[in-house]
Amino acid sequence: MLEDYAKARKLGLKQVERDVSDGHYPYPPALDDILKNQGYQGEVPVGLTEVDLTLIAGTKTRGRQNMFSSDFMPIAEASSEFAAKWSDLIDSQRAEGLRDPIVVYEYLQRFYVQEGNKRVSVSRYLGMPTILANITRVIPMPSDEKALRVYHEFTRFYRVAPIYGIISSEEGFYARLAALLDQDLDTPWPEGVVRDLRSVFDAFSSAFRARGGDSLNLQVGDALLTYVTIFGFEHVRALSPAQVGEEVGRIWGEFVVTQGEGARAYLEDPSLERTAPLPKLKNLAKTAVLAKPFRVAFVYDRNPLSSGWIALHERGREKLERRLGATVSTLSFTDRSSDAAFDQAIDEAVERGTDLVITCSPTQMRQTLRAAAEHPGPAYLNCSVSLSHSAVRGFYGRMYEAKFLLGALAASLAGHHKVGYVAESPVFSTVAEINAFAIGAAMVDPYATVHLKWLSAKDYDWRRELREEGVHIISGRDYANPLAPRESWGLYRVGDNGSEEHLAEPVWKWGRYYELLVRSIRNDTWKKEGEKIQGQSLNYWWGMSAGVLDVRLSPELPRGQRMLVDVLRQSVLSGRVHPFTGELVAQGGDVVQGPDAGRLTSEQIVRMRWLNENVIGRLPEQRELSRDGLVEVEVAGVIPVDPSTVLLKDTSR
């Protein structure tokens, strides 16, 4: 109908006007022009398949491209032969559908039309999601650019799962998606898996775009990965499109905070803000509410009898109860690493009226996110930092402050300018702790070197290496290991005869941390923080000034060393001294910042990847890490890992 053409032309002319105003080319780009500048290796026939209309980027040749706006709306005069043919085509489409496939060339996951421009235009005007196309792939020239590396990973994915439209700009995306589906990029996937993934993607992309996903700085493929990571493929493949849409709505905040490079806010000190006084009647109501204990559920992936980390949190839970008495009630669930065991704990906690759920490992974040989506009543916290999520807030401590003090102490005790540092895994904040220790050591002894080893590395003896390197003062694991009670931890000295003497240790005060968090929820500070900081993930990143971290010294230490640590502690607390202010130089002499620079940002500190100039050692590679180390690094690591080698999930629900 010419009436449809007039409406479509009006849309097209408006698009041309916008493009010209913004300085953009107002017509569909021609692939031949693109290839003229960039070149290509050859062409490979792909065959017939349905393609997402949003992926059609232009035309193959210049031809009649000036008959369309950049979004393929017609712009030719309404009296033209072109307008008449376009109108006949839309009538035919409505009566019997489009029978013939269009002919397109695919280049870097975008399609350029050789035959069927008007069919694309009509289909877009009618809001059709896909169109049948006969595809020829254009092979780009070799390059080490990131976009080409991502595209080559896509071609591997397409060989095993021929689906167009699942697009990402991140390396490792397709390997991660394959791992979530218990597949890889080398063996063709079962037909049922491909069919179900295509169905899930169609339902997800429709729901994502219906809610305004195209306005986010987030590829639909990356959003899909977030969705499948949270809920699990075995769960989502059984859902109807309406159910997928409902779940997309429940986790919409996750897409908002993960768009772009992710927006993360770090709350470095407990808020002192308090709610305004309430009128008398409301005070009475609030008193009645507070008469009911505030219920907190701790869901641990391991057991405090076997994990020193969990033992610390369990002691913190007990101290929370002692501090707040009858106003708080807690329960703990141990050994809940599997999805089934975790979900059972959450179901029981919610049934018992839990107000706050706390999980204590970054590897539990996916499970906690799913719990928050399925049970939106309680508040949710995960002991991690710098993970971009909306429904679950992270919490951790600025442990680098304590390590700064310990580094200075270690250097003051070392007789040969050598100290050792044994780190856990290369995850967020760990590198900052190493560097703060090294900077503290250099402040006391400018010739001090820090010999770095890794607990999560496999098949090597770091004790022997430190012994051979002549290192006697060592910063080891931050807490005692219940499975090896005689193993030294904290800062200790190794004697010539192999004896070990405990010198100092960092102290986590989780009881106080939890008390402050619970109080923030009860006095509405938690709610106000969420309202004030929107579109970003919230990370509580408190330190010594909040009283949640400290350093404990052995009473056997000389008075001078004790005074040194006390002076530095007060300097850190007052803000006069900060390890990441002023001149910072990395290994090899690379200048991170000059002497007049201020403090690094929280983001720069948490996600630090460089090692200070006096550190002897390096970050481990994937092949060197143990299984547990790999799992931690895949979730919150500062080094790249191949997700196909890491167990990302347990979908036994």
Q: Which of 4-7's residues contact partners 24+ apart within 8 Å by CB, and which partners?
A: 4/87, 4/90, 4/125, 5/74, 5/78, 5/83, 5/86, 5/87, 5/90, 6/78, 7/125
- pLDDT (tens digit per residue) in 24-76: 999 999 999 999 988 889 999 999 998 999 999 999 998 878 899 999 999 99
Domains of the chain and CATH, by start: 1-142 (3.90.1530.10), 144-259 (no CATH), 267-397+511-545 (3.40.50.2300), 399-510+549-645 (3.40.50.2300)
Quick check: 275 pLDDT over 50? no
% of residues, the chain, pLDDT over 70: 95
Quick check: 285 pLDDT over 60? no
Q: Residue 277 has what pLDDT? A: 43
Quick check: 124 pLDDT over 70? yes
In the numeric block, the tokens 């559920």 are attached to 297
Q: Residue 649 has what pLDDT? A: 44
| Assigned token pair, 245 | 């849409």
| Assigned token pair, 651 | 């979908």
Q: Return the SS3 of 331.
A: strand
CB 396 within 8 A of CB 537: no
Q: Residue 375 has what pLDDT? A: 96
Report pTM.
0.88
**3-state SS string over 485-548?**
CCCCCCEEEECCCCCEEEEEEEEECHHHHHHHHHHHHHCCHHHHHHHHCCCCEEEEEECHHHCC
Could you give the strand order of the β-sheet that contains 40-52, starting from the edge strand earlier in sequence? 40-52, 130-140, 102-107, 110-115, 56-59
Of 453, 464, 386, 466, the closest CA to residue 424 belongs to 453
Q: Residue 650 has what pLDDT? A: 43
Mean pLDDT for 412-427 is 96
CB 78 within 8 A of CB 2: yes
Quick check: 98 pLDDT over 80? no
Mean pLDDT for 308-333 is 97
Residue 85 confidence class, pLDDT cut points 50, 70, 90: very high
Q: Residue 284 has what pLDDT? A: 41
Mean pLDDT for 134-154 is 92
Write the CB contacts of 280 (distance below 8 Å, at least 6 apart in sequence): none
> Rounded to the nearest 5°, which phi and psi values hold at 157?
-60, -45
- pLDDT (tens digit per residue) in 524-554: 999 999 999 988 999 999 999 999 999 999 9
Q: Residue 260 has what pLDDT? A: 78
